[in-house]
Amino acid sequence: MSSATVLFATIVIALLVTMVLTLTRALAGPTLFDRLLAVNSFGTKTVLLIAAAGFLAGRPEFLDIALVYALINFIGTVAVLKYFELPDAGSGAYPEDDY
Amino acid sequence: MGDFLVGLLAWPLAALGCLFVVSGAIGLVRLPDLYTRLHAASVTDTGGTLLIAAALLLHAVFTFADPMAAIKLVLIVGFTLFTAPTASHALAKTAMLVGQVPVGADGKPLLDSPEEASRLARSRRAPEGAGDEMPGEPSARGTN
């Protein structure tokens, strides 16, 4: 086993441990924002995990998926938060936004 | 010899990155309130991503000799460096807006009421006496 393989495996294991801890926070709450924070953090770790697992498998093409996941993760978080700031978003209550 | 040098550079980066990521998750689990958890998670997210991606980048360039993988890794890090702080900021601001009151080290709330937190989140100015106003800034800015 080469040094590189051990390195990738170490990163993957560290990330998996991290993701378990993050998930406990997402399940424990207590507020909704704690869960959102945990899910956002989990998403960032997923991006890294996909990248590291791709290298571990010797197929760096997995990075495409990681790239897309990084974008979706951010957009998802901001979309949910926007809903809290403007609970009636999309109802037509903000006609000045309809360009 | 080349492999040895890459390992010599990549191992410390990866080890530090893993330390960041795991300590951030421990902070996320153990710290007492939302804002402290936000600090732990967001700071280590950015740092850990940067370090781990740097270790992977070294291997992408020298072990795999794959320039496309290197470019994608740089893109991922670039996006993360922009989006992670933005998401953290949006999360903190929305939490204030909804009325989550930050708690001090002694367990006492730092603001009087949830309405106070909401009002602060809506205004664009720091509270009076916070001491972080720019010296030459007109104080009447953003009094909506």
What SS3 state is found at B86?
A: helix
Which value does ipTM take for this structure? 0.81
Q: Is residue B134 part of a domain?
A: no
What's the pLDDT score for residue B5?
81
**Residue B36 clears pLDDT 80, i.e. is over it:** yes
Q: Is residue B131 part of a domain?
A: no
Q: What are the φ/ψ torsions at residue B141 (nearest 5 degrees)? A: -70, 135
Q: Is residue B25 part of a domain?
A: yes
Q: Of chain A residues 48-87, which have a CB less than 8 A from chain B?
A: 48, 51-52, 55, 58, 60-61, 63-64, 66-67, 70-71, 73-74, 77-78, 81, 84-85
Contact B28/A36 with Cβ under 8 angstroms?
no
Residue B83 domain boundaries:
2-122
Q: Which two tokens stand for residue B82?
A: 């922009």
**Residue B3 clears pLDDT 60, i.e. is over it:** yes
**Residue B137 clears pLDDT 80, i.e. is over it:** no
Q: What is the pTM of this model?
A: 0.80
Domain boundaries, chain A: 3-87
Interval B97-103 mean pLDDT = 80
Rounded to whole angstroms, the Cα distance separating A46 from A33 reads 20
Point out the residue among A24, A33, A85 whose CB comes nearest to the CB of B100.
A33
B39, B76, B98, B103, best to mutate vs chain A, most A CBs in 10 Å: B76
Interval A66-80 mean pLDDT = 88
Does the beta-carbon distance from B14 to A70 stay under 8 Å? no
Contact A7/B14 with Cβ under 8 angstroms?
yes
Q: Is residue B140 part of a domain?
A: no
Rounded to whole angstroms, the Cα distance separating A91 from B126 reads 32
| Residue keyed to tokens 């424990």 | A28
How many domains are contained in chain B?
Answer: 1
